[in-house]
Protein backbone atom coordinates (compact mmCIF):
# COMPACT_ATOMS: atom_id res chain seq x y z
CA UNK A 1 0.00 0.00 0.00
CA UNK A 2 1.21 3.51 -0.77
CA UNK A 3 0.42 6.91 0.68
CA UNK A 4 -0.70 10.09 -1.17
CA UNK A 5 2.86 11.48 -0.98
CA UNK A 6 3.75 9.23 -3.95
CA UNK A 7 1.60 11.30 -6.27
CA UNK A 8 3.70 14.37 -5.52
CA UNK A 9 7.03 12.79 -6.49
CA UNK A 10 8.38 13.28 -9.98
CA UNK A 11 10.94 11.36 -11.95
CA UNK A 12 13.44 14.21 -11.56
CA UNK A 13 13.30 13.68 -7.79
CA UNK A 14 15.33 10.49 -8.30
CA UNK A 15 18.10 11.96 -10.43
CA UNK A 16 21.72 12.39 -9.41
CA UNK A 17 25.04 13.22 -11.07
CA UNK A 18 27.44 10.36 -11.68
CA UNK A 19 30.82 10.61 -13.45
CA UNK A 20 31.03 7.95 -16.15
CA UNK A 21 34.40 6.87 -14.72
CA UNK A 22 32.61 5.42 -11.67
CA UNK A 23 30.49 2.98 -13.70
CA UNK A 24 32.19 -0.35 -13.02
CA UNK A 25 33.23 -2.15 -16.20
CA UNK A 26 34.74 -5.16 -14.46
CA UNK A 27 33.90 -6.94 -11.20
CA UNK A 28 36.18 -6.74 -8.17
CA UNK A 29 39.14 -9.11 -8.44
CA UNK A 30 37.76 -11.04 -5.45
CA UNK A 31 33.98 -11.09 -4.97
CA UNK A 32 33.82 -10.13 -1.30
CA UNK A 33 36.57 -7.51 -1.52
CA UNK A 34 34.23 -4.96 -3.04
CA UNK A 35 33.50 -1.94 -0.86
CA UNK A 36 30.49 -1.72 1.44
CA UNK A 37 28.60 1.37 2.53
CA UNK A 38 26.38 0.82 5.57
CA UNK A 39 23.37 3.13 5.83
CA UNK A 40 21.70 3.27 9.25
CA UNK A 41 18.18 4.66 9.22
CA UNK A 42 17.62 5.17 12.96
CA UNK A 43 19.69 6.87 14.15
CA UNK A 44 20.91 8.01 10.72
CA UNK A 45 24.54 7.46 9.82
CA UNK A 46 27.00 6.12 7.26
CA UNK A 47 29.85 3.66 7.70
CA UNK A 48 32.41 2.52 5.14
CA UNK A 49 34.05 -0.87 4.91
CA UNK A 50 34.68 -3.99 2.85
CA UNK A 51 31.98 -6.49 1.96
CA UNK A 52 33.82 -9.39 3.57
CA UNK A 53 33.26 -7.63 6.91
CA UNK A 54 29.47 -7.47 6.52
CA UNK A 55 29.18 -9.85 9.47
CA UNK A 56 30.22 -6.99 11.78
CA UNK A 57 26.84 -5.41 11.07
CA UNK A 58 24.78 -8.59 11.46
CA UNK A 59 23.76 -10.39 14.64
CA UNK A 60 22.91 -14.02 15.40
CA UNK A 61 19.33 -14.68 14.35
CA UNK A 62 19.36 -12.31 11.38
CA UNK A 63 17.78 -13.96 8.33
CA UNK A 64 19.30 -13.22 4.92
CA UNK A 65 17.03 -13.89 1.93
CA UNK A 66 18.84 -14.49 -1.37
CA UNK A 67 17.56 -14.88 -4.93
CA UNK A 68 18.94 -18.12 -6.41
CA UNK A 69 17.91 -17.46 -10.02
CA UNK A 70 20.53 -18.31 -12.63
CA UNK A 71 21.32 -16.15 -15.66
CA UNK A 72 21.29 -18.02 -18.96
CA UNK A 73 23.23 -17.01 -22.11
CA UNK A 74 20.16 -15.51 -23.77
CA UNK A 75 21.78 -13.21 -26.35
CA UNK A 76 21.86 -14.99 -29.70
CA UNK A 77 23.76 -13.32 -32.57
CA UNK A 78 21.78 -13.68 -35.80
CA UNK A 79 22.02 -12.83 -39.49
CA UNK A 80 19.48 -11.38 -41.88
CA UNK A 81 19.02 -13.01 -45.31
CA UNK A 82 21.21 -10.33 -46.88
CA UNK A 83 23.95 -10.82 -44.30
CA UNK A 84 23.14 -7.92 -42.00
CA UNK A 85 23.53 -8.38 -38.27
CA UNK A 86 20.70 -8.92 -35.82
CA UNK A 87 20.32 -10.24 -32.30
CA UNK A 88 17.65 -12.33 -30.60
CA UNK A 89 17.48 -11.66 -26.87
CA UNK A 90 15.50 -14.55 -25.40
CA UNK A 91 13.20 -13.55 -22.53
CA UNK A 92 10.67 -16.30 -21.80
CA UNK A 93 10.02 -19.77 -23.20
CA UNK A 94 6.52 -20.43 -24.55
CA UNK A 95 7.23 -24.02 -25.59
CA UNK A 96 9.98 -26.04 -27.24
CA UNK A 97 11.70 -23.74 -29.76
CA UNK A 98 9.09 -21.04 -29.22
CA UNK A 99 10.13 -17.94 -27.29
CA UNK A 100 9.19 -14.38 -26.56
CA UNK A 101 12.22 -12.25 -27.30
CA UNK A 102 13.59 -8.81 -27.98
CA UNK A 103 14.81 -8.75 -31.58
CA UNK A 104 17.38 -6.12 -32.52
CA UNK A 105 17.88 -5.27 -36.17
CA UNK A 106 14.65 -6.87 -37.41
CA UNK A 107 11.12 -6.81 -36.07
CA UNK A 108 8.79 -7.60 -38.97
CA UNK A 109 6.35 -10.47 -38.66
CA UNK A 110 7.43 -13.25 -41.01
CA UNK A 111 11.07 -12.13 -41.06
CA UNK A 112 13.56 -15.01 -41.09
CA UNK A 113 16.96 -14.93 -39.43
CA UNK A 114 19.83 -17.42 -39.25
CA UNK A 115 21.43 -18.46 -35.97
CA UNK A 116 24.58 -20.54 -36.32
CA UNK A 117 24.77 -23.20 -39.03
CA UNK A 118 21.41 -24.37 -40.29
CA UNK A 119 19.31 -22.96 -37.46
CA UNK A 120 16.48 -20.70 -38.58
CA UNK A 121 14.49 -18.20 -36.54
CA UNK A 122 11.18 -16.83 -37.75
CA UNK A 123 9.37 -13.89 -36.15
CA UNK A 124 5.92 -15.40 -35.99
CA UNK A 125 4.12 -12.49 -34.38
CA UNK A 126 3.94 -10.03 -31.54
CA UNK A 127 4.39 -11.17 -27.97
CA UNK A 128 3.52 -9.33 -24.79
CA UNK A 129 4.82 -5.94 -23.69
CA UNK A 130 6.61 -5.12 -26.93
CA UNK A 131 8.33 -8.50 -27.32
CA UNK A 132 8.28 -10.66 -30.44
CA UNK A 133 7.27 -14.31 -30.72
CA UNK A 134 10.15 -16.25 -32.32
CA UNK A 135 10.06 -19.85 -33.54
CA UNK A 136 13.27 -21.81 -34.16
CA UNK A 137 13.75 -24.69 -36.60
CA UNK A 138 16.69 -26.85 -37.63
CA UNK A 139 17.50 -27.77 -34.04
CA UNK A 140 15.83 -30.16 -31.60
CA UNK A 141 15.77 -27.56 -28.81
CA UNK A 142 17.37 -24.12 -29.03
CA UNK A 143 18.31 -24.41 -25.35
CA UNK A 144 20.87 -27.02 -26.30
CA UNK A 145 22.95 -24.60 -28.37
CA UNK A 146 22.84 -21.66 -25.93
CA UNK A 147 26.02 -22.66 -24.03
CA UNK A 148 27.86 -22.67 -27.36
CA UNK A 149 26.32 -19.75 -29.27
CA UNK A 150 24.57 -17.63 -26.64
CA UNK A 151 26.21 -14.70 -24.89
CA UNK A 152 25.96 -13.52 -21.29
CA UNK A 153 23.41 -10.66 -21.16
CA UNK A 154 25.61 -7.93 -19.69
CA UNK A 155 23.88 -4.57 -19.10
CA UNK A 156 24.32 -2.00 -21.89
CA UNK A 157 26.48 0.29 -19.72
CA UNK A 158 29.15 -2.44 -19.57
CA UNK A 159 30.91 -1.74 -22.82
CA UNK A 160 33.04 -4.84 -23.42
CA UNK A 161 31.79 -7.92 -25.21
CA UNK A 162 30.91 -10.79 -22.83
CA UNK A 163 33.78 -13.16 -22.12
CA UNK A 164 34.18 -16.49 -20.39
CA UNK A 165 35.03 -14.59 -17.21
CA UNK A 166 31.72 -12.76 -17.39
CA UNK A 167 29.81 -16.04 -17.66
CA UNK A 168 31.20 -16.93 -14.22
CA UNK A 169 31.31 -13.54 -12.50
CA UNK A 170 27.93 -12.26 -13.72
CA UNK A 171 26.41 -15.09 -11.72
CA UNK A 172 25.99 -15.61 -7.98
CA UNK A 173 27.86 -18.53 -6.41
CA UNK A 174 24.52 -19.99 -5.28
CA UNK A 175 22.63 -19.61 -8.59
CA UNK A 176 20.66 -22.79 -9.20
CA UNK A 177 17.37 -22.12 -11.06
CA UNK A 178 17.98 -20.99 -14.64
CA UNK A 179 15.70 -18.37 -16.12
CA UNK A 180 17.03 -14.84 -15.54
CA UNK A 181 18.14 -12.43 -18.25
CA UNK A 182 20.01 -10.31 -15.69
CA UNK A 183 21.82 -11.17 -12.49
CA UNK A 184 20.50 -10.30 -9.03
CA UNK A 185 23.67 -8.28 -8.59
CA UNK A 186 23.58 -7.69 -4.83
CA UNK A 187 24.40 -11.38 -4.47
CA UNK A 188 27.52 -11.19 -6.62
CA UNK A 189 29.57 -10.14 -3.56
CA UNK A 190 29.03 -13.36 -1.62
CA UNK A 191 31.55 -16.21 -1.61
CA UNK A 192 31.01 -19.72 -0.21
CA UNK A 193 33.56 -18.93 2.51
CA UNK A 194 31.76 -15.73 3.54
CA UNK A 195 28.41 -17.54 3.66
CA UNK A 196 29.94 -20.23 5.87
CA UNK A 197 31.43 -17.64 8.25
CA UNK A 198 28.09 -15.90 8.58
CA UNK A 199 26.30 -19.19 9.24
CA UNK A 200 28.85 -19.98 11.96
CA UNK A 201 28.02 -16.62 13.52
CA UNK A 202 24.35 -17.60 13.69
CA UNK A 203 23.05 -15.80 10.60
CA UNK A 204 20.40 -17.83 8.79
CA UNK A 205 20.12 -18.10 4.99
CA UNK A 206 17.06 -18.90 2.88
CA UNK A 207 16.49 -18.70 -0.87
CA UNK A 208 13.72 -17.40 -3.07
CA UNK A 209 13.60 -17.41 -6.86
CA UNK A 210 12.64 -14.48 -9.04
CA UNK A 211 13.69 -14.74 -12.67
CA UNK A 212 14.88 -11.24 -13.42
CA UNK A 213 13.38 -10.00 -16.68
CA UNK A 214 13.79 -6.85 -18.74
CA UNK A 215 11.01 -5.23 -16.73
CA UNK A 216 13.32 -4.75 -13.75
CA UNK A 217 15.39 -2.35 -15.86
CA UNK A 218 12.61 -0.84 -17.94
CA UNK A 219 13.09 2.95 -17.99
CA UNK A 220 10.49 5.06 -16.24
CA UNK A 221 9.13 7.33 -18.96
CA UNK A 222 6.39 9.08 -17.00
CA UNK A 223 7.25 12.27 -15.11
CA UNK A 224 4.59 11.28 -12.59
CA UNK A 225 6.20 8.10 -11.28
CA UNK A 226 2.87 6.72 -10.07
CA UNK A 227 1.90 6.14 -13.72
CA UNK A 228 4.72 3.64 -14.34
CA UNK A 229 3.86 -0.07 -14.52
CA UNK A 230 6.21 -2.98 -13.88
CA UNK A 231 6.35 -5.90 -16.30
CA UNK A 232 5.60 -9.33 -14.78
CA UNK A 233 8.45 -11.52 -13.54
CA UNK A 234 8.12 -15.15 -12.47
CA UNK A 235 8.86 -16.04 -8.85
CA UNK A 236 8.74 -19.04 -6.52
CA UNK A 237 8.78 -19.16 -2.73
CA UNK A 238 9.11 -22.66 -1.27
CA UNK A 239 7.30 -23.79 1.85
CA UNK A 240 10.60 -24.16 3.72
CA UNK A 241 11.69 -20.62 2.88
CA UNK A 242 8.27 -19.18 3.73
CA UNK A 243 8.29 -20.99 7.08
CA UNK A 244 11.76 -19.65 7.88
CA UNK A 245 10.70 -16.07 7.11
CA UNK A 246 7.54 -16.39 9.18
CA UNK A 247 9.43 -17.86 12.14
CA UNK A 248 11.87 -14.96 12.04
CA UNK A 249 9.08 -12.38 11.94
CA UNK A 250 7.22 -14.01 14.84
CA UNK A 251 10.43 -14.08 16.89
CA UNK A 252 11.19 -10.41 16.17
CA UNK A 253 14.36 -11.24 14.25
CA UNK A 254 15.49 -9.12 11.33
CA UNK A 255 14.71 -10.22 7.77
CA UNK A 256 17.32 -8.74 5.45
CA UNK A 257 16.83 -9.10 1.71
CA UNK A 258 19.83 -9.54 -0.56
CA UNK A 259 18.79 -7.56 -3.62
CA UNK A 260 15.68 -5.73 -4.73
CA UNK A 261 14.34 -8.89 -6.41
CA UNK A 262 14.31 -10.69 -3.05
CA UNK A 263 12.41 -7.72 -1.60
CA UNK A 264 9.79 -7.83 -4.34
CA UNK A 265 9.38 -11.61 -4.03
CA UNK A 266 8.72 -11.50 -0.29
CA UNK A 267 6.51 -8.44 -0.39
CA UNK A 268 4.51 -9.94 -3.28
CA UNK A 269 4.03 -13.16 -1.32
CA UNK A 270 2.73 -11.36 1.78
CA UNK A 271 -1.00 -12.03 1.93
CA UNK A 272 -1.90 -10.70 5.36
CA UNK A 273 -0.01 -8.96 8.15
CA UNK A 274 3.67 -9.74 7.86
CA UNK A 275 3.28 -13.45 7.05
CA UNK A 276 4.42 -14.72 3.66
CA UNK A 277 2.76 -17.54 1.77
CA UNK A 278 4.61 -20.16 -0.28
CA UNK A 279 3.81 -20.63 -3.94
CA UNK A 280 4.70 -19.42 -7.40
CA UNK A 281 3.37 -16.75 -9.70
CA UNK A 282 4.31 -13.46 -11.27
CA UNK A 283 5.22 -10.22 -9.56
CA UNK A 284 4.37 -6.79 -10.91
CA UNK A 285 4.96 -5.12 -7.54
CA UNK A 286 6.21 -1.55 -7.96
CA UNK A 287 7.77 -0.27 -4.73
CA UNK A 288 8.34 3.47 -4.39
CA UNK A 289 8.31 6.00 -1.55
CA UNK A 290 5.12 5.72 0.41
CA UNK A 291 5.12 1.92 0.27
CA UNK A 292 4.63 0.26 3.67
CA UNK A 293 7.04 -2.68 3.98
CA UNK A 294 5.52 -5.66 5.72
CA UNK A 295 8.39 -8.16 5.76
CA UNK A 296 11.73 -6.50 5.07
CA UNK A 297 13.82 -4.95 7.86
CA UNK A 298 17.03 -4.40 5.88
CA UNK A 299 18.55 -4.66 2.42
CA UNK A 300 21.82 -5.51 0.72
CA UNK A 301 21.92 -3.80 -2.67
CA UNK A 302 24.18 -2.24 -5.27
CA UNK A 303 24.19 1.41 -6.37
CA UNK A 304 21.47 1.93 -8.99
CA UNK A 305 20.86 4.02 -12.09
CA UNK A 306 19.34 7.49 -11.74
CA UNK A 307 15.55 7.65 -12.19
CA UNK A 308 15.24 3.86 -11.94
CA UNK A 309 12.59 1.81 -10.14
CA UNK A 310 15.45 0.16 -8.24
CA UNK A 311 16.55 3.50 -6.81
CA UNK A 312 12.92 4.23 -5.93
CA UNK A 313 12.64 0.94 -4.03
CA UNK A 314 15.74 1.65 -1.95
CA UNK A 315 14.46 5.17 -1.33
CA UNK A 316 11.16 3.73 -0.12
CA UNK A 317 13.03 1.73 2.51
CA UNK A 318 15.59 4.26 3.72
CA UNK A 319 14.08 7.60 2.67
CA UNK A 320 14.75 9.46 -0.57
CA UNK A 321 16.88 12.22 0.98
CA UNK A 322 18.90 9.69 2.98
CA UNK A 323 19.66 7.61 -0.11
CA UNK A 324 20.48 10.57 -2.36
CA UNK A 325 22.82 11.91 0.33
CA UNK A 326 24.45 8.48 0.55
CA UNK A 327 24.85 8.44 -3.23
CA UNK A 328 26.50 11.87 -3.17
CA UNK A 329 28.94 10.53 -0.58
CA UNK A 330 29.54 7.43 -2.69
CA UNK A 331 30.47 9.65 -5.64
CA UNK A 332 32.81 11.74 -3.47
CA UNK A 333 34.44 8.57 -2.09
CA UNK A 334 34.67 7.06 -5.57
CA UNK A 335 32.60 3.97 -4.96
CA UNK A 336 32.03 1.82 -8.04
CA UNK A 337 28.46 1.89 -9.39
CA UNK A 338 25.92 -0.48 -10.95
CA UNK A 339 26.02 -4.22 -11.60
CA UNK A 340 29.75 -4.85 -11.23
CA UNK A 341 30.12 -2.14 -8.60
CA UNK A 342 30.21 -1.90 -4.82
CA UNK A 343 27.46 -2.61 -2.31
CA UNK A 344 25.25 -0.90 0.23
CA UNK A 345 23.71 -2.36 3.39
CA UNK A 346 20.60 -0.55 4.62
CA UNK A 347 19.68 -1.27 8.27
Query: What is the pLDDT at residue 140?
Result: 95
Q: What is the mean pLDDT of residues 55-65?
A: 98
Q: What is the mean pLDDT of residues 234-248?
A: 98
Q: Is the peptide bond before 278 cis (omega within 30 degrees of 0)?
A: no
5 band by pLDDT with thresholds 50, 70 and 90: very low
pLDDT tens, position by position, 120-135: 999 999 888 789 999 9
Q: What is the mean pLDDT of residues 52-62?
A: 98
pLDDT at 11 over 80: yes
CATH 3.40.50.300 fits 4-71+167-346, yes or no: no
Return the domain boundaries, the chain: 4-71+167-346, 75-149
pLDDT tens, position by position, 303-343: 999 999 999 999 999 999 999 999 999 999 999 999 999 99
pLDDT at 162 over 90: yes
pTM, full prediction = 0.94
CA–CA separation, 329 and 36 (whole Å): 13
4 band by pLDDT with thresholds 50, 70 and 90: very low
pLDDT at 181 over 80: yes
Please give the distance of CA 324 from its chain centroid, rounded to a whole number: 20
Q: Mean pLDDT score of the chain, rounded to an integer?
A: 94
Tell me which architecture the domain covering 75-149 has in CATH: Beta Barrel (2.40)
Query: What is the pLDDT at residue 3?
Result: 47
Query: What is the pLDDT at residue 214?
Result: 85
Query: What is the pLDDT at residue 244?
Result: 98
167 band by pLDDT with thresholds 50, 70 and 90: very high
Query: What is the pLDDT at residue 106?
Result: 87
Q: What is the mean pLDDT of residues 41-50?
A: 92
Amino acid sequence: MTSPVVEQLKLSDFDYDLPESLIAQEPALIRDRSRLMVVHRNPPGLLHGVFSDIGEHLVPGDLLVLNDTRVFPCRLPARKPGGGRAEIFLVSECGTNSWEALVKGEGRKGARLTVGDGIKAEISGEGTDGLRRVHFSGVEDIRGILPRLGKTPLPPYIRHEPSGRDSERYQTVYASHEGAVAAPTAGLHFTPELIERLKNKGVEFVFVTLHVGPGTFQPVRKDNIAEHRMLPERYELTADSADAVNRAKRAGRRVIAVGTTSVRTLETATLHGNEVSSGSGTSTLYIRPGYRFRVIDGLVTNFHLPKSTLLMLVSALAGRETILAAYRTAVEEKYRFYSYGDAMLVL
